[in-house]
Amino acid sequence: MLKSTLSLYRESYSGLRREVWYLSLVLLINRMGAMVLPFLTVYLTVQHDFNLIDAGLIVSSFGFGSVAGSYVGGWITDRWGFYRVQLWTLIIGGVLFWVVGQQETFWGFWVSIFILSVVLNGFRPANQTALAYYSNPENRTRAFGLLRMTVNLGYSMGPFFGGILIVSLGYKWLFIMNGISCLLAALTFKLLLPRGRQEEQKKEKQSPKNSRSAYKNIPFMTFVFFLMIGAVCFMQMFSSLPIYLKDHLSYTEQDIGLLMVLNGLLIAIVEMPLIHKLGQRFKPLPLIATGFLLMGISFYFLNMAASIFVVIYMTLLTFGEMLSMPFASTYTATIAPEERRGEYMGLLGIGWAIAFIIAPTFSLWWAEIYGFSSLFWFSLVLGLVSGLGIYTINKRTIKYFE
């Protein structure tokens, strides 16, 4: 039993190029410093006395910036190459975190977070395009899985360290350390992945004008639409969940950080062998749909308002995340024309970005008016609609995709 388990782990991680591992290390450093976003709603309401609706509007600016950044990042990546876009967005993003930490007013926060989000999300299409470039169809899902594993491990450690920082030094240090992590990631990227000639030669041979735009690909747009609905359900983990845990279950910031650690540890331990085995047996669409169904079902347990059920919620949500996200990225990279891969990855990012606009604005407004219990029932419905929608895309669309 132990021998077969170890063999499965070896298979899951074997055959990946060193550039994939380097990209994953860069993301791990960057995301270990991701302390601001998980505590942003709490910071705005506790430190600056914004009400839930205003806090939701401020956090939604990150979503608007994500839409713009995903579009611009995809466009620039297809024209300038993924190397420069990744390097400069990390550097500029590091400086902008410090700028956000100096804000005091509603519009100061809104504008600075919007600009920060544009830059941070401009990085994502370039990063995913690079990963697709350094992988092949046989190991692409595992490459995206490795990247996601390091990202989520970093994200889980970020809130943990952030909770300690808040208790010991105060909220301002979240912005300082998040900025430092971006600059360290940029330095690591520059040292480990020196720019070569392959990317430039490839760009000279291809033109985005010769292939179908992602924005005219109706089947892919349909897929992104249902994914966006499920993403609104998932995004409750960053918008409404921290406030619910703090105000209704009396969690401290450190307790919230520890719960996020569970998410990252599960992904670190389970995701790679899971997607390796499932990817060999099933097509991406049913797996993505199942993931969103699990996310929806998880909110049934969150509504029971007890710590043990919060753990069950996080476990189910994490398994849903592991099924939906890596296969969605792999799927997009596979069906995208190579010369428009940045654009397709950007559109996938836009789906998540629109969800980030809707989730904090709508969910915190809903919680303020109708309560958290009602919000969590609605989130359950969103997860089911997303999963069933992806399952029931008509046969012509599925045939087109595959």
pLDDT single digits (tens) 12-55: 666 678 888 888 888 888 777 677 777 787 788 888 878 877 88
What pLDDT band is residue 402 in, cutting at 50, 70 and 90?
very low
When mean pLDDT is compared across 162-166, 320-324, 395-399, the lowest value belongs to: 395-399
How many Å apart are CA 107 and CA 141, to the nearest integer? 41
Tell me which residue of 35, 326, 29 sits closest to 167, measured CA to CA: 35
Give the pLDDT score at 81.
Answer: 81
CB 66 within 8 A of CB 116: no
**Predicted confidence (pLDDT) at residue 205 exceeds the cutoff of 60:** no
**Predicted confidence (pLDDT) at residue 203 exceeds the cutoff of 70:** no
When mean pLDDT is compared across 182-191, 204-213, 220-229, the lowest value belongs to: 204-213
Give the pLDDT score at 230.
Answer: 93
Give the pLDDT score at 320.
Answer: 93
Instruction: List pLDDT tens digits, range 276-291.
Output: 778 778 888 889 999 9
For residue 371, what are the contacts with CB-CB under 8 A and spacing of at least 6?
none
Average pLDDT over residues 324-337: 82
Q: What is the largest CA-CA distance in the chain?
A: 59
When mean pLDDT is compared across 61-70, 120-129, 147-156, 279-288, the lowest value belongs to: 147-156
Structural tokens at position 336: 């995208």
DSSP state of 213: -
Average pLDDT over residues 298-325: 86
When mean pLDDT is compared across 107-116, 117-126, 372-381, the lowest value belongs to: 117-126
What pLDDT band is residue 229 in, cutting at 50, 70 and 90?
very high
Higher per-residue pLDDT: 390 or 142:
390
Alpha helices in 101-217 (DSSP H): 106-133, 140-168, 172-192, 198-205
Give the pLDDT score at 57.
Answer: 83
- Tell me the pTM: 0.72
Structural tokens at position 308: 């043990």
Give the pLDDT score at 400.
Answer: 47
Give the pLDDT score at 111.
Answer: 92
CB 13 within 8 A of CB 146: yes
For residue 166, what are the contacts with CB-CB under 8 A and spacing of at least 6?
39, 173, 174, 253, 254
What pLDDT band is residue 395 in, cutting at 50, 70 and 90?
very low
